[in-house]
Amino acid sequence: MSQNIELLLSISSMQNNILKTLDRHLSVHGISFSEFLVMYRLSLVSNRTVRRIDLAESVGMSASGITRLLNPMEKLKLVEKEQNPRDARVSFVKLSDVGFDLLNDAIKSVQHATDSLFKSLDTNDIELFLKLINKIR
């Protein structure tokens, strides 16, 4: 087997382990890592509002995938849908106050999970790892 394939399989295995760990830590908040990621991205933009298609792109999902993820989040009042008054084809998603509060609690759980996941790495290891990841993005 080539080194590239071994690297790919190792990255995939690592990603699965990380996602399982994060989902387990986030389950106490009633959200998945995908939902956390959406709320986190929304928290970073002005007015906590972004076009639905831009949100999908920023979290690596398709337009239909983000819609399937957001629908239950809207029912739970974590996010709100806003229509563009000038263009009905464009819709916006806003992180609600309820979602923002939940996100702040969830961030503590994610921090705890990442502390555990990366406890064997020192600051230099993490900097190098980030540098290598950014090389292949």
Residue written as token pair 């790919």: 8
Residue 89 DSSP symbol: T
Both tokens assigned to 88: 């009905």
Which CATH code fits 3-136? 1.10.10.10
Please tell me the distance from the alpha carbon of residue 19 to that of residue 34, in angstroms, as a whole number: 9
pLDDT in the model for residue 26 = 97
Outline where DSSP puts E strands in 7-112. Answer: 49-51, 79-83, 91-95
Q: Report CA dihedral (131, 22, 33, 78) to the nearest 10 degrees.
A: -120
CA geometry: angle at 26 spanning 100 and 78, to 5°?
30
Q: What is the pLDDT of residues 73-101, one digit of tens each?
A: 999 999 998 877 776 677 899 999 999 99
Which amino acid is residue 38, in one-letter code? Answer: V
Average pLDDT, the chain: 93
pLDDT in the model for residue 83 = 77
pLDDT in the model for residue 82 = 84
Give the pLDDT band (50/70/90) at residue 64. Answer: very high
For the segment 112-134, the average pLDDT, to the nearest whole number, is 95
